[in-house]
């Protein structure tokens, strides 16, 4: 994703990029870059994966690169505005030593670990081209430092904090922490503030994220998530199209939930497909659909057939099973701490 963002911003090769468009002559009317979302192409069998968001409208790094090009002044328009800063780095064992930051602020300070070094970037206002070039702090991340601090019981000291400054004042911040062991599934509705209408056709995206105990998304995992829906909603698609169960990609597994023709509560539960004593705990989410804006004209028999065709291949977990899962997780956590203590006493952790 870093390469994609650089490709759109200002690559080393000659290409129609954002920086090049800004350097055009005054009589150049405008230009565009393709494309906003990943999608199925009509002229080619391979999907297009160059969107600034994926097919479920989840932002990639390039989204934040473009976000950094907006004016720093806040406005009352429909689009987001104002100062921003974003660290495009996940602090994993495979992450680059170079840290990339996107920001529209005049100055950015990057703090690496508590009490660690502070690095500063100041925008060259005389530079021609795109308003906010990609910021790179070379060689500032070291995974072995994370490992050392964690072994010394200072896990909470491992983070990166970016602060955006305007006129000497902090106007935007972004903090990144490394994701530890995957422990839970977090569910959220991605509806951009729009209510789900109970018209039998409206649908909303629900996203299951695999996180550690502190809520940091575990981007590097290959679980499958199985969903179960209760109430006035149903899942669009089933296992035939890998909708349910759904593979986790970059830490999340979205699903589309469609409304029925009756307003009411919708409960969504998500669990890992292959369960085990050390697997993440299931997540649960409840939201409500609203009455349709206009009277509905439909065949009641058709709606009954739709309900009968819904997939029933995923078994539902009851409340008792969910509570048992949670208690088992707590018990396993105590066992793991005992094993960790034994390893420390034996000396394995010092190797």
Span 171-187, pLDDT tens digits: 999 999 999 999 999 99
Structural domains in the chain plus CATH codes? 1-176 (2.60.40.10), 184-307 (2.60.40.10)
**pLDDT attached to residue 344:** 74
**pLDDT attached to residue 315:** 61
Token pair, residue 162, equals: 């970016």
Q: Which of 85, 61, 329 is nearest to 219 (CA)?
A: 61
**pLDDT attached to residue 198:** 96
CA–CA distance, 70 with 268 (Å, rounded to integer): 36
Per-residue pLDDT of the chain (351 residues; tens, 9 = 90+): 999 999 999 999 988 999 999 999 989 988 888 899 999 998 889 999 999 999 999 999 999 999 999 999 988 877 889 999 999 999 999 999 999 999 999 999 999 999 999 999 999 989 999 999 999 999 999 999 999 999 999 999 999 999 999 999 999 999 999 999 999 999 999 999 899 999 999 999 999 999 999 999 999 999 999 999 999 999 999 888 899 999 999 999 999 999 999 999 999 999 999 988 889 999 999 999 999 999 988 887 777 766 655 544 456 667 777 778 778 777 777 877 777 777 777 765 554
Q: Percent helix, strand, coil in the chain (nearest 5)?
A: 20, 30, 50
Neighbours of 278 (CB within 10 A): 13
Token pair, residue 250, equals: 């970059």
Do 158 and 178 form a contact (C-beta atoms < 8 A)?
yes
Do 140 and 73 form a contact (C-beta atoms < 8 A)?
no
């Amino acid at each position: 994703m870093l390469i994609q963002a650089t490709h759109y911003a200002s690559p080393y090769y000659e290409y129609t990029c954002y920086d090049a468009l800004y350097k055009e002559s005054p009589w150049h009317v405008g230009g565009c870059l393709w494309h906003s979302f990943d999608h199925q192409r009509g002229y080619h069998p391979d999907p297009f994966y160059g969107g600034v968001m994926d097919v479920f409208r989840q932002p990639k790094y390039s989204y934040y690169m473009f976000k950094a090009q907006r004016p720093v002044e806040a406005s009352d328009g429909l689009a987001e505005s104002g100062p921003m800063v974003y660290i495009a780095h996940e602090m994993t064992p495979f992450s680059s030593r170079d840290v990339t930051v996107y920001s529209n602020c005049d100055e950015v300070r990057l703090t690496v670990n508590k009490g660690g070094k502070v690095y500063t970037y100041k925008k060259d206002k005389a530079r021609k081209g795109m308003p906010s070039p990609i910021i790179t702090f070379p060689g500032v991340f070291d995974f072995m430092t994370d490992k050392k601090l964690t072994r010394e019981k200072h896990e909470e000291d491992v983070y990166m904090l970016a602060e955006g400054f305007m006129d000497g004042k902090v106007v935007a911040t972004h903090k990144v922490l490394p994701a530890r062991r995957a422990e839970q599934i977090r569910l959220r509705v991605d509806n951009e503030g729009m209510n789900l209408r109970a018209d039998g056709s409206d649908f909303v995206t629900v996203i299951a994220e695999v996180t550690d105990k502190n809520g940091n998304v575990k981007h590097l995992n290959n679980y499958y998530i199985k969903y179960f829906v209760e109430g006035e909603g149903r899942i669009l698609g089933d296992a035939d199209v890998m909708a349910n169960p759904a593979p986790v990609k970059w830490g999340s597994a979205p699903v589309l939930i469609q409304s029925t023709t009756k307003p009411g509560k919708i409960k969504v539960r998500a669990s890992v497909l292959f369960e085990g004593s050390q697997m993440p705990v299931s997540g649960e989410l409840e939201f409500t659909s609203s009455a349709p804006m206009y009277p509905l004209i439909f065949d009641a028999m058709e709606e009954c057939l739709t309900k009968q065709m819904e997939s029933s291949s995923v078994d539902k977990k009851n409340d008792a099973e969910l509570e048992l899962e949670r208690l088992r997780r707590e018990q396993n956590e105590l066992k793991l701490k005992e094993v960790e203590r034994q390893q420390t006493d034996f000396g394995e952790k010092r190797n």
